[in-house]
Amino acid sequence: MARVVVEVMPKAEILDPQGQAIAGALSRLGFAGVTDVRQGKRFELEVDGSVDDAQLEKIAEALLANTVIEDWAIRRIDGEA
Amino acid sequence: MARVVVEVMPKAEILDPQGQAIAGALSRLGFAGVTDVRQGKRFELEVDGSVDDAQLEKIAEALLANTVIEDWAIRRIDGEA
């Protein structure tokens, strides 16, 4: 049993209104020094040994990310995290 | 200018219906071997040198995570990622 993390973020050229709202709120709340915020998603999957990297890529592309507007990355965490 | 990643995930003892829906969809779509999915959030912040770790913790606690139901972690990415 392994843990896999899939990180999904809006592509750099895509506007991110959620992130912009957070950046605006930070400055209104008095937190200076944060110049940009982008918000994405993070999925933790528990997979068994039958799931290989090719299948993980299919899962990320088909279900977890909207590849038109989002980039995604897969990281395996093999420790007992 | 440094990039900071804040990862926010539902606490282990909290039900995660979004993640359960994804796990159910995976099995219906024929992806076997994924036993559990949890969905969280991932924030990328661009911060300048004036923002220290204590301030980042305040930002994560006050604005990015709901600490009643979510755990959060801060990672600094100092490379030009």
pLDDT, one tens digit for every residue, chain B (81 residues): 899 999 999 999 999 999 999 999 999 999 999 999 999 999 999 999 999 999 999 999 999 999 999 999 999 987 544
pLDDT of residue B1: 83
| pLDDT at res. A25 | 96
Which residues does chain B have within 8 Å of residue A22's beta carbon, measured at their own beta carbons?
Answer: 43, 63-64
Cα distance between the two ends of chain A = 12
**How many inter-chain contacts (A to B, CB under 8 Å) are there?**
104
Determine the residue of chain A that is closest to B9 in CA distance: A42
pLDDT at res. A19: 97
> What is the arrangement of strands in the sheet containing B70-77, beginning at the earlier edge strand?
A70-77, A2-10, A34-47, B34-47, B2-10, B70-77
Hey, is the C-beta of A36 within 8 angstroms of any chain B C-beta?
yes
B26 has a chain A CB within 8 A of its CB: yes
pLDDT digits (tens, 9 = 90+) for A1-33: 899 999 999 999 999 999 999 999 999 999 999
Q: What is the ipTM of this complex?
A: 0.91
> CATH number for the B2-77 domain, one of 3.30.1280.10, 3.40.50.720, 3.40.50.1820, 3.90.1330.10?
3.30.1280.10
Residue ranges per domain, chain A?
2-77
Is B3 in the A-facing interface, judged by CB distances under 8 Å? no
Which pLDDT tens digit goes with each residue over B35-44?
A: 999 999 999 9
Give the rounded percent of residues in chain B with a pLDDT score beyond 70.
96
User: Please, are residues B15 and B69 in contact by the beta-carbon 8 Å criterion?
Assistant: no
Q: What is the pLDDT of residue A79?
A: 58
Residues of B in contact with A19 (CB under 8 A): 43-44
Q: What is the dihedral of CA B31, B33, B35, B38, to 10 degrees?
A: -50
The tens digit of pLDDT for each residue in A39-77 reads 999 999 999 999 999 999 999 999 999 999 999 999 998
